[in-house]
Every structure is written in structure tokens, then in C-alpha cells.
Structure 1
Amino acid sequence: MARRTLVFGPAYLDRVLRVDQPLLESELGGPLDQSVDGQIRFGPGLSLIDPDGGLMELELPADWPGPTGQIALAQVITPPTSSMRRKVRGVSWSDDLGGMGAGYAAALGGDLISALGSEDDQTSQIISAQLARHEITHRPIRLPEHPADWTLLITSGKFGDKLPIGFRGCHAALTSLAPWIDQPCELRVVAGLPNRIASQALSAPGAAVRFFAPAMRNMIDRDCPISNFAESVDILSCNRHEWDQLADREQVAWKLSILAITEGAEGCVVRFTNPVGEPVSLRIPAFPRNQPPRDTNRAGETFAATLVNSLLEGGWAPGVAEESLVRNATVRASAAAALVLDRLEFGFPAPNEIDAALVAGQVV
């Protein structure tokens, strides 16, 4: 019988801008892998301004459809000792399905519960069409007074940078996930929703396993910190930069059954408790590739979805875990993440692709 999976998280329209050089040099903390909210003041050209006055100017492709103007970023994206002064050249663009909710629903075969604007909202129509195209079952919560969310996703491909800049609409106005919040399921996924909403979904009854995939905004939320509802999370997966921004991260870590922290080219760390009550921290290297990545987008979703799926297929239930099971699941997740680096469009590697990569010992 198929596992019933309910995914609570956004589906966006991604406007993807690919650039031909790093967004940040390594000495400034690059490659960049951080989501941030933005507000745009329309005008000529396109530039990013962070709260410290850092500036990134983007040279746009000749056929760029917009937006143009100055985008004020909600957070600084460089280390405290530096200020962003950067000019990069965009070489191509595309529109794609985005949002962690859509990603996890596709990767885990789950039903997606997310917000949309009215049926007349053009961006909402595009998102609905994209979800149907990818055969994702969608249970929309309509907020007709608010437009759909969209993201300007800037990526440097082989250089490893990914900067999603979110323009919030209906999900920022979301106050309830009814009537889906307490529906029974084997796996409940909450991804990228504000903590005040995520806490409702994770704390509601009816789920055998609860997986939380936070974004940066979840980590820095002081009004509803993750520690307030961490007891309602069985598995949490995020990247190192996000984890390090969580002020009370050790307090949170001890409340989780499994914590996975990805570190890009350095691999990942998975923390859990073994059956004799010992805390274990596994470090798994990045799965080998024989060529640079084409695009780092969706690597985190691919890793986490494969990790969760592999654990559940191996018979894991919330609580302690066998080290061999966690190790095998993490290696499989790392192989899946290495495979998705070759994809330029929305999509995830199939199980047979992951199996073949594991047999080969690398992505060729």
C-alpha cells in the first residue's frame, strides 16, 4: 500500500536568472545558498541592496522579461566583516515551478496543501498549470485578496550559488491550514511555511512521522522560535548556514529524533540516538561526481526527501535509530543530491537512477 503523505508548503513561480560567475567569492563566504525575502522598487536595470548597503548589480540578458528595478533584501547575505560590492552578468533565464512544498510533494509522491490567490490571479493560474504538468495532486487554500507568491532565483550553476529572493503574497497572509491540518497520514511534511503556521501543522494529531524543512526565515524568527514546537518534529533537515543562524540550536537538536545538516561540497552531518541511548553524529562526504554541477537548485530537497523515504522504507519509526540504517539512507540521499545537480528544470532523480549511481560509486 502506498504511504499517505501530506505536504504543507508553498508552490511558487520561479523566475530563474542564470549568471556566468560566482555571486560571492569564497573569501566572502561563497558559494551562496540562502533564501531571503525582497521588496522591489521598479525602475531601470536590476540591482540587489542588502540592509548594510551592500550592492549587487545584475547585467540582464537581452530578452529579460522583468522585473527591473532595485530589490531591497530583508537580510544581509555576506559575512558581518564585509560589504557586498558585486557586478555579475546574467546569461539566460527561464520560468519554472518552485517552492519547497511543490518540491517535496513531487519527490515524495505526496498531496500538496498550499495557498493560492483567486482563480483569476494570473500567477496562480500558471502555478496550477505547472503543478498539473508535473502530476502533483494539489489541495489549494484560496486567499482571493492576495496574489500568489513568486521567486526571483539567481543561480551560478557550476559555481554553486543559489539565491532565491521571495516576493510574498498569499502564504504570508495564511492563518489556517484547515481542513487538512489534522488529516491522518503516515508522513506529514511541513516545508518553508512561517513558524506560526508550521507549528500548527506539526503539532496537529494524525501523523505517524513529522518532517520539517525550514528556510532561513524560520531560523531567525524570534516571535515563534522553532524551540517552541521542536517536540513536534521527528526529522529536521536544513543546510549549515541556516542551522548556524538558529540561536538555540542545541536545545532544538536534543528534541529531534534525527537532524540532518547539509554542507554542500563538504557533504553532510546527521545526528541521532542509537538503540542503546548513545548520541551519534555521522559525517558523510558528498557523493562523487566527475564534472561540475549544472545547477544546485533542489539539491537540499532531493537530499532530504530521499533520506526520509529511505528511513521509512527501512522500517524506521520516530525515536532511536540503527546506525547502519541511517548511514545507508544518508549515502543514498547524497547520491540523489549529486544526481539532481545535472538538472536545469524542476524534477528529481528516479529510484533506478539512484541505484545505478550507487553501483557505479559516482555520478558520471
Structure 2
Amino acid sequence: MRSSNLPALIFGPAYLDLVVRVAGPISHRPIDLGSDGHFDPDSLDRLEIICPNGAALIIPGLKGTACPTGRLTTANDVLPAGLNRTMAMIETFEDLGGMGSGYAAALGGRLVSALAQPIDPLSARVRQAIAKHGIDHRAVSFVDIAQADTTFIVTSGPSGDKLPIGLRGCHASLEPDDVLGYDHAPIVVAASLSNALMHAVLVEARESLRILAPSARNCRDRMYPLSRMAAVTDLLALNAGEWAELTETDRRAFEDSAAILSITRGPEGAEILWRNRRRERESHFEPAFPRRRPPVDTNRAGEAFATHLIRKLVETGWSHERRTVDERAVRVAALYASAAAGLVIGMPRFGFPSSKDVERIVGLGEIS
């Protein structure tokens, strides 16, 4: 059973994930950091991931699977220097991906994203996947772009690794005129698009609750820093690795702003920072929800946490007209968000728990 839809407008990517589940862990601590990349296909029976620092991850036995074979070169160092590992593949599959589709599926509302030319078979499969999950979608189609975006995701399931490497296409071509001025909603999410475009979306949504959900690529952008968006953001949602990618100036801008900050910390839990009615910063750490079984896939945990945090805060009256929240509201919302994240990491494919499922698990106090 799906959650009821919130009146939301989500600007963010939707594409196909090429998921490779490996017998982890990849390194001595979980990896949860993504990068853009470049893929050179070949006929050898393996996927080779190479970082600028020389780190390498090789996954053999992929011929005939959903994952193409070849060399995937990352734009950033997402593997630890000195790592050179060959890992066994457990399974591969194709799934709906993209932060935009995740927020749209979990919140409801309308997704605005890009697709390539109508004859692109990859774009057709993205449309089918979006429709399968019942997501209201307005596509911006580019007739001069041959192929939609896609992302390789290496995940180790119980070990907590999530390594997304994106091949960018049509979403990089989106401009403000392509997406603005068509719809309005009480809640607006800007997720993992270019920094300039996300800024334009948030400025346009001045009469809405404005959610900023950046990727690691957004946090690394020094030409158009995220700090430009601090004054037009009501909630910033990201993970600890992405927070660390920001400059000190960027972090300080958000810490000094009125925005609620939601920083997930993998298996440890999440930290929420907000301003009380006296404009003082308060913080709350919510531990990961208790569970008896290991996770299956951590890929959508961040979106599950953020969207259920938003849901519960809105239930307490958080809105464009009433932007302040109190400690009790934050603690309750963080508990439900933690339970939602705990449920989603037990799901092997794209999907999110319903509000009733989350309510039930909170009542039980443990995922068994």
C-alpha cells in the first residue's frame, strides 16, 4: 500500500540504474559516495572501475548479464588510494534510479525530469519504469540528444557500500526555461541537477517549502557553490560524505541559515539541526533504527529518510507560512524517518515503504 501523496513538485533526474551487487565489503569502511564517469565498453568479461588516484575495483563474470563490460573511469576519487581489488559478482539487474524518481515515488506529487529523443530505447525503458511505479511525470524531451542518462551502481548489500557512477546525458542540458513557470506546489524539491538549475528552481518557489537534495557532484562544484542556495533553502538533505565534500564556506553558510539540516551517517544514524523560535541552533542525533537482519541494499536509504522526515514535519504544521519547528516535532519526525530508512534497506529493488508500514514498525520498535 502506497503512502498518500503530498502536494509536491520534484525537479530531479530519473534514469536507469545498472546495479551490480558484489560480495562486499569493498574497503575497510562502507563507501557511500558517487561520481560522474566515462565508460569504454569492450569484449572482456569484467567491469573495471578506475579512479584518478589509481584505485581499482574489478568485477569479473559479467558477460551475458544486465551490466555491460568494459572500463569505467571516474571523475573523482571515490575509492580509497591504494585499493586494488577483484570482487565476486552476486547479481546484476536494471532498475529505476535517479534522486528525482526516488523523491517522487516516496513523496508523491509530480516529477519533472529529462529524457532523450523519442527513438532512444533507453528513454523508452525509463518511461516504462516511471509508469510502472505510478509516478506522475512531466518529461522534458531533447530531440538532439541521442541517449538518456544511466548510472552504474556497485552495492555490497549487508556491508553497506553504495558506489554510483553516472554517465551524464540529457539532464546536463536542462535549462531553467525548460522547467520553470509550468506548475506550483506547496513543497518543491530540487535534487541532483546542475547547481545553477537547482538555484533557479528554489528562487522560483519562494512561496513553497523548498527542499535541496544535492549529490556529491553538486557538493564538489566550486564554480557555482551550494552556499548560493543557503538563503532559499528550508531543508538541506544529504549524507555525511556529501557534507564533507562541501567547502568550509559552504557548510558555514548553511549552518548560519534558517534551513533545517538533515545529515545521514550510514549505519550510525542521522543528525538533524534546526533553529528554534529564538533563532538558536539545536541538534538531535537519531540512531539507526534497530534491526535483527542485515540490509539488502542501501541505495535508497537517504531518500527514504528525507521524505519521511518531511512527511512528519508537515503533519506537525511545518509549511511555507510556519517554517519553525520544535524539538518534539523533530524527534518524532527523525524516529519515523529512521524507521523508513531501515525498511527501505531491506528492499532489493526500487520502492519505498508506505506510511502505514513505517507506523507499524515504529510501534514494534524493531525490524525483525
Same fold flag (TM > 0.5): yes
Coarse TM-score class (shorter-chain normalised): over 0.9
2:171 alignment counterpart: 171
Give the deviation of 1:184 after TM superposition. Answer: 2.2
Give the deviation of 1:66 after TM superposition. Answer: 3.9
The answer to which of 346-355 and 35-44 deviates more is: 35-44
Give the deviation of 1:278 after TM superposition. Answer: 2.2
Q: What is the CA–CA distance in structure 2 between the aligned matches of 1:181 and 1:243, rounded to whole Å?
A: 31
Give the deviation of 1:42 after TM superposition. Answer: 1.9
Deviations 1:20-51 (CA, angstroms, capped at 9, x unpaired): 121222xxxx2011111110122223201101
2:312 alignment counterpart: 310
Unaligned 5+ segments in structure 2 are none
Does residue 288 (structure 1) correspond to residue 290 (structure 2)? The answer is: yes
1:349 alignment counterpart: 353
2:339 alignment counterpart: 335
The answer to which of 101-110 and 38-47 deviates more is: 38-47
Q: What is the CA–CA distance in structure 1 between the aligned matches of 2:205 and 2:195, rounded to whole Å?
A: 17
How is 1:172-321 mapped onto 2 (pairs within 5 angstroms)?
A: 172-181=172-181, 183-205=183-205, 207-247=207-247, 248=249, 249-317=251-319, 319-321=323-325
Decide whether the 8 Å contact of 2:150 with 2:166 is kept in 1. yes
Decide whether the 8 Å contact of 2:305 with 2:337 is kept in 1. yes
Q: What is the CA–CA distance in structure 1 between the aligned matches of 2:161 and 2:208, rounded to whole Å?
A: 36
Q: Give every structure 1 segment of 4 or more consecutive aligned residues whose post-TM-superposition deviation is greater than 2 Å.
A: 1-4, 60-63, 176-184, 317-320
- What one-letter code is carried by the residue in structure 2 that aligns with 1:204? E
Partner-residue secondary structure (3-state), 1:229: helix
How is 1:120-159 mapped onto 2 (pairs within 5 angstroms)?
A: 120-146=119-145, 147-159=147-159
Partner-residue secondary structure (3-state), 1:139: strand
Identity %: 39
**C-alpha distance 177-33 of structure 1, shift in aligned 2 (>3 A):** farther
**C-alpha distance 53-198 of structure 1, shift in aligned 2 (>3 A):** same
Deviations 1:97-148 (CA, angstroms, capped at 9, x unpaired): 0000001001001100000001111110000011111111110011122221
TM-score by length of 1: 0.95
Q: What is the CA–CA distance in structure 2 between the aligned matches of 1:187 and 1:50, rounded to whole Å?
A: 38
**C-alpha distance 251-105 of structure 1, shift in aligned 2 (>3 A):** same
2:70 alignment counterpart: 69
Q: What is the CA–CA distance in structure 1 between the aligned matches of 2:79 and 2:19, rounded to whole Å?
A: 21
- What one-letter code is carried by the residue in structure 1 that aligns with 2:107? L
Give the deviation of 1:223 after TM superposition. Answer: 0.9
2:26 alignment counterpart: 23
Does residue 360 (structure 1) correspond to residue 361 (structure 2)? The answer is: no
2:101 alignment counterpart: 102
Give the deviation of 1:4 after TM superposition. Answer: 2.2
Give the deviation of 1:182 after TM superposition. Answer: 6.2
Give the deviation of 1:2 after TM superposition. Answer: 6.3
Give the deviation of 1:61 after TM superposition. Answer: 4.0
Does residue 323 (structure 1) correspond to residue 322 (structure 2)? The answer is: no
Q: What is the CA–CA distance in structure 2 between the aligned matches of 1:137 and 1:2, rounded to whole Å?
A: 10
Q: What is the CA–CA distance in structure 1 between the aligned matches of 2:90 and 2:356, rounded to whole Å?
A: 33
- What one-letter code is carried by the residue in structure 2 that aligns with 1:229? M
Does residue 14 (structure 1) correspond to residue 17 (structure 2)? The answer is: yes
- What one-letter code is carried by the residue in structure 1 that aligns with 2:235? I
Q: What is the CA–CA distance in structure 2 between the aligned matches of 1:193 and 1:182, rounded to whole Å?
A: 18
- What one-letter code is carried by the residue in structure 2 that aligns with 1:14? D
TM-score by length of 2: 0.94
Q: What is the CA–CA distance in structure 1 between the aligned matches of 2:205 and 2:117, rounded to whole Å?
A: 30
Q: What is the CA–CA distance in structure 1 between the aligned matches of 2:282 and 2:128, rounded to whole Å?
A: 44
Q: What is the CA–CA distance in structure 2 between the aligned matches of 1:61 and 1:102, rounded to whole Å?
A: 27
Give the deviation of 1:65 after TM superposition. Answer: 4.0
- What one-letter code is carried by the residue in structure 2 that aligns with 1:321? V
Deviations 1:63-111 (CA, angstroms, capped at 9, x unpaired): 32442111110100145xx322111111211111000000100100110
Deviations 1:221-272 (CA, angstroms, capped at 9, x unpaired): 0111011121111101100011011002122222242001000111111001
Q: What is the CA–CA distance in structure 1 between the aligned matches of 2:225 and 2:140, rounded to whole Å?
A: 25
The answer to which of 197-206 and 177-186 deviates more is: 177-186
Q: What is the CA–CA distance in structure 2 between the aligned matches of 1:306 and 1:265, rounded to whole Å?
A: 18
- What one-letter code is carried by the residue in structure 2 that aligns with 1:160? G
Decide whether the 8 Å contact of 2:14 with 2:101 is kept in 1. yes
1:57 alignment counterpart: 58
Deviations 1:159-179 (CA, angstroms, capped at 9, x unpaired): 110111100000112123535
1:34 alignment counterpart: 33
- What one-letter code is carried by the residue in structure 2 that aligns with 1:327? R
- What one-letter code is carried by the residue in structure 1 that aligns with 2:68? P
Q: What is the CA–CA distance in structure 1 between the aligned matches of 2:268 and 2:38, rounded to whole Å?
A: 33
Decide whether the 8 Å contact of 2:63 with 2:69 is kept in 1. no
**C-alpha distance 362-46 of structure 1, shift in aligned 2 (>3 A):** same
Give the deviation of 1:281 after TM superposition. Answer: 1.1
Q: What is the CA–CA distance in structure 2 between the aligned matches of 1:221 and 1:256, rounded to whole Å?
A: 22
